[in-house]
Amino acid sequence: MEALVSLDMHCHLLPGLDDGARDLDESAAIAEALLGYGITRVVVTPHVHRDLYPNTRASILPVVAATQAELARRGIALQLVAGAEVRLDPESCTPEQWLTIGDSGRHMLVELPPGLPLVSTLEAQLFAIQAAGITPIIAHPERQGVLLKDPGVLARWVLERGMLAQGTLCALAGAASAGTVRALEGFLQQGLIHVLGTDVHHLDRRVRDLTRATARLEALVGAENARLIRLENPLALLEGRAPRRPRPVAPPSLLQRLLATLRLT
């Protein structure tokens, strides 16, 4: 079967590092579930949060290697790509804690703090990352309060500042609140989402019925954009290349929205 994505950009599969997989058995179960959807490569992105999950590049990389070796021992052909989900706050987002995708020094997944932090503070930290030659990828903007309050912030970051954004597959499969789904769909239609990820932590709704996500994505943005988001842009990131921005599309009519809702029920 064709993969939902050529590279799952957001996955908490590494054991014992955060609120994701608890042990190697759970890591293996998640890996097998992803393979069942045709996903053969994932960026493993444990949280980097000084107070809760004080992970660093130096502490994460050996766990990636050990987990990969254990999956291979069990005959599970999932390829792990090193990465992290770095909390964008002054305590957690320091150079020694940064771990870019594939440890290539090019792109890094960042999570905004909860609530409504000052946009100026966030931008100062994001620009510091960019000044180091790293392009930030905003994790699941559809769940970030500051971007829901003012969606124009994400548009400015993407269109004017050259940042990237990652949406969550399960929301397109209906496994999210109505507000989250609407926000993601809006960002997708504005051409502000470059890649998708499962953001899987455990074997829960985030890895169920994901095949519906592909059809929903194509219905929202068209076949060409869907292929770019699902397959081409993730490969570009894996190879250290800059992904392309999807083309904005007109929002669906009321009838189209109704039909899409019926398909998700």
Per-residue pLDDT of 159-189, as tens digits, reads 999 999 999 998 998 888 999 999 999 999 9
113-121 contacts: CB < 8 A, separation 24 or more? 113/87, 113/88, 113/89, 114/145, 115/145, 115/146, 116/145, 116/146, 116/149, 117/146, 119/146, 119/150, 119/153
Per-residue pLDDT of 68-87, as tens digits, reads 999 999 999 999 999 999 99
Following DSSP, what letter does each residue of 180-199 receive, concatenated? HHHHHHHHHHTT---EEE--
Residue 246 has pLDDT above 90, yes or no: yes
Q: What is the pLDDT of residue 207?
A: 76
Q: By percentage, how much of the chain surpasses pLDDT 90?
A: 82
Of residues 192 and 91, the one with the higher pLDDT is 192
* Residue 215 φ/ψ region, left for φ over 0, alpha for ψ in the -120 to 50 degree band, beta for the rest: alpha
Identify the bridge partners of residue 79 per DSSP, sorted by sequence position: 41
Confidence of residue 257 (pLDDT cuts 50, 70, 90): low
